[in-house]
Amino acid sequence: MAQVTIESTRTFRDLDLNFTIHPVRKDVNTHKNEYAIINAVKNLILTNHYERPFRPEIGSSIRRLLFENIDTVIAAQLERAVVETIENFEPRVQVSTITALPDPDHNGYKMVLEFFVINRAEPITINFFLERIR
């Protein structure tokens, strides 16, 4: 009897938001799989409410929290806001751990976000620094 195995590995693609041009195709570069999801998560975290046209509910309250005093209480609120935003708006990602470390010398927070892409075994870790811009 024949045995059939089907592997359903889904690929994710997204545009490069720097809009760099591919040297051969003369088209906008794309990101694939993990890089596309990492960029989507970063953009989602840094998007403010009412910033996306026709989708005002997408976004987080992180920018509002960055104008508060830099301490561990606000760091915990940042962690909750990031997890809540990712759970609500990014179905491809399961957050494993998140750590926000206050850095008062540089007026911001060091963030370490570890998550799993659905149907992938290895975790992805993102390190970034959140600071107020204005």
Encode pLDDT of 14-39 as tens digits. 777 777 887 888 778 777 778 888 88
Query: Can you give the pTM of this predicted structure?
Result: 0.79
User: Alpha-carbon distance 104 to 116, whole Å?
Assistant: 30
- What is the pLDDT confidence band of residue 127, given thresholds at 50, 70 and 90? very high
Report the SS3 class of residue 124. Answer: strand
Number of Cβ atoms within 10 Å of the Cβ of 116: 15
pLDDT on residue 103: 94
6-15, 98-107, 112-121: which has the minimum mean pLDDT? 6-15
**Helix 72-89 / helix 34-46 crossing angle, nearest 10 deg:** 120
Give the span between the Cα atoms of 8 and 95, in whole angstroms.
22
- In SS3 terms, 13-71 reads as EEECCCCCECCCCCCECEEECHHHHHHHHHHHHHCECCCCCCCCCCCECHHHHCCCCCC
What does the pLDDT look like over 84-98, one tens digit per residue?
999 999 998 999 999
